[in-house]
Amino acid sequence: MTLHHTLTTHIQKAVLELFNISIEKVEFQATRKEFEGDITMVVFPLVKALKGNPVEIGNQIGNYLVANVNEVSKFNVVGGFLNIVISDAFYVEFFNSIKNNETFGFVTPKEGEKAVMVEYSSPNTNKPLHLGHIRNNLLGYSVAEIIKASGKKVYKTQIINDRGIHICKSMLAWQKFGNGQTPESTGLKGDKLVGNFYVEFDKQYKKEISELIAQGKTEDEAKKLAPSILEAQQMLLDWENGKPEVINLWKTMNQWVYDGFEQTYKNLGVNFDSYYYESNTYLLGKEVVQFGLEKGIFEKDPDGSVWIDLTADGLDRKIVLRSDGTAVYMTQDIGTAIQRVKDFSDVGGMVYTVGNEQDYHFKVLFLILKKLGFDWADSLYHLSYGMVELPSGKMKSREGTVVDADDLMAEMTTTAQTISEELGKLDGYSEDEKAVLFKTIGLGALKYYMLKVDPKKQMLFNPEESVDFAGNTGPFIQYTYARIQSILRKADFDTSISISGLELHEKEKELIKQVQLFPEVIQNAAENHSPALIANYTYDLVKEFNSFYQQVSILGEENHDKKVFRVQLSKSVGNTIKNAFQLLGIEVPERM
């Protein structure tokens, strides 16, 4: 039982006995630094019901708690705030109950509870993954891990956009300019090779547009009449009609890209339980449209197109089937959602990790699924996130100015190497150990910098700033973890015994209070789909530990019980850092 819960129960009892009134809620906040206390009860909300002076009410409740509650040792009242001092024995007892629990804060899923499916990545197969995909992947993966730690079964999935005109552009450029190049013959990752041809198509297309404008065409006319775009459109028709040579080229080039993506995912440390492909799902949903028409949810226009009118819900009319009978993205997303619940019968909710430019699309999608009568539609969530920019500005994939995900990861490793060597933290490391450490620090810096920002906010990614060994950064936290491991290696005495009856140093108490918050932070992060809550909690924990480390002697403490207790406390903090970073997909080095 948490401290909040324990105190709430006793305060409710106190108010009932003292004032003969039942209260449901008790409001707590952290005690301000200038006052003595571990937790503060806000008295003001009770004043009206109890018809009294807030200071008098606070004193009466405080006296009751000291007399009746073992955990409360004393109190003070400042205005309408009751500052409660919790006994050292309570904190020592709590610590002893969790010190050997290596998964403290994590909840095991209950049997029969509905699972959550988290979708992320969802790339196009015409280019490599870039900086924006990195934020998407890190957010989706971390949210999946956090939801899992909060006590739910989780499936990680993605839908790969492997069809459409953009795919045909890369294919056409390869046919024209590729000279039979393959990833093997060029030594390039498959996604990079295909991406190069997407850029090549754009160059050729722009050249043709300029030539047509010079011949007197308007820009709009030139864009429609350029030979390259007409050929790409024809190729798309050939693909949809199943022309064998087009299908074979499509399969070959897509496989190149999938192989390249897998390498990037492995390097980034993310994974998936299932994959959906747009080429398989683009026809899904068409039968649902028929069902919706019969139920009067959809309506058919005179030209044969099918729509849903959401104006009464504050949205607009949305097309779900074109007049020629072809599906739109919305139709496909409706069908895919339904298919996923068929494929994974225990799924009771889904999280879609997609940029904020799609906010409206998901409002419409969720509302349509709700109107179609799917009870799980209430448990759909759009994890909307802001774009990532670099100090140098925006990126454009057609023009080849995108920050490639692989290049960025390699750059982060190199930056970590440079800074580590400057700081001289590498004595006694072999070259292989150094390589592993640089990657751990570089990727840790990248991931932490991306995840410490609230997902909804647009962010500026600064590689150099992220690898700083001081401040709110991944390397700063990793270094503190390594420092704790060093303490544990030097502790040449039995640390398995339980110590009780200690009088705690203020810094020990603060550190235990911070560790105690971890389960609640996991639940809040899961509820809010926000890895930033985990990241910033970990930074606060590390700051608290470093303050403890500077002000309290650990291995130099003469009292054996205190020394054992402080090593145990350090170990518990290290374990919490490791578990919190695991939820962010970040590794921690044993030494650095």
Give the Cβ contact number of residue 391 at 10 Å: 10
Each residue's pLDDT tens digit, 68-90: 999 999 999 999 999 999 999 99
Cα–Cα distances in angstroms (integers) from residue 12 to residues 16, 26, 51, 77, in the given order: 6, 8, 16, 18
Res 1: pLDDT: 59
Rounded distance, CA 62 to CA 442, Å? 51
Mean pLDDT to the nearest integer, 429-436: 91
Q: List the single range of 263-277, 338-352, 400-414 with lowest mean pLDDT.
A: 400-414
Is 127 or 356 the better-scoring residue by pLDDT? 356
Residue 22's Cβ-count burial label (10 Å; 0-12, 13-18, 19+) is exposed
Res 429: pLDDT: 86
Each residue's pLDDT tens digit, 142-151: 999 999 999 9
Quickly state the pLDDT bin for 273 (edges 50, 70, 90): very high
Res 420: pLDDT: 84
Counting Cα atoms < 13 Å in the Cβ hemisphere of 568 gives 23
Token pair of 39 as six digits: 């937790």
Query: For residue 399, is pLDDT > 70?
Result: no
Each residue's pLDDT tens digit, 196-238: 999 999 999 999 999 999 999 999 999 999 999 999 999 999 9
Residue 480's Cβ-count burial label (10 Å; 0-12, 13-18, 19+) is buried
Q: With beta carbons less than 8 A apart as the criterion, state whether 173 and 185 touch.
A: no
- Nearest-Å Rg of the Cα atoms of the chain is 30
Quickly state the pLDDT bin for 2 (edges 50, 70, 90): confident
Cα-based angle 103, 554, 492 (whole degrees, multiple of 5) = 80
Q: With beta carbons less than 8 A apart as the criterion, state whether 270 and 137 touch.
A: yes
What is the average pLDDT value for the chain, to the nearest integer? 93
Token pair of 64 as six digits: 């009751």
Torsion, Cα 382 580 405 282, to 10 degrees, reads: -30
Rounded distance, CA 16 to CA 24, Å? 11
Res 395: pLDDT: 43
Res 346: pLDDT: 95
Mean pLDDT to the nearest integer, 38-57: 93
* pTM summary value: 0.91
Mean pLDDT to the nearest integer, 181-188: 97
Each residue's pLDDT tens digit, 442-459: 999 999 999 999 999 999
Mean pLDDT to the nearest integer, 261-272: 96
Quickly state the pLDDT bin for 499 (edges 50, 70, 90): very high
Counting Cα atoms < 13 Å in the Cβ hemisphere of 385 gives 33
Mean pLDDT to the nearest integer, 125-129: 90
Quickly state the pLDDT bin for 18 (edges 50, 70, 90): very high
Query: For residue 401, is pLDDT > 90?
Result: no
* 413 phi, psi to nearest 5 deg: -65, -40
Query: For residue 468, is pLDDT > 90?
Result: no
Token pair of 225 as six digits: 């009449």
Domains of the chain from N-terminus onward: 3-86 (3.30.1360.70), 164-276 (no CATH), 405-583 (1.10.730.10)
Res 393: pLDDT: 53
Quickly state the pLDDT bin for 398 (edges 50, 70, 90): very low
Mean pLDDT to the nearest integer, 481-497: 93
Query: For residue 133, is pLDDT > 50?
Result: yes
Question: For the chain, how far is it from start to end, CA to CA, in angstroms?
Answer: 38
Query: For residue 359, is pLDDT > 90?
Result: yes
Quickly state the pLDDT bin for 389 (edges 50, 70, 90): confident
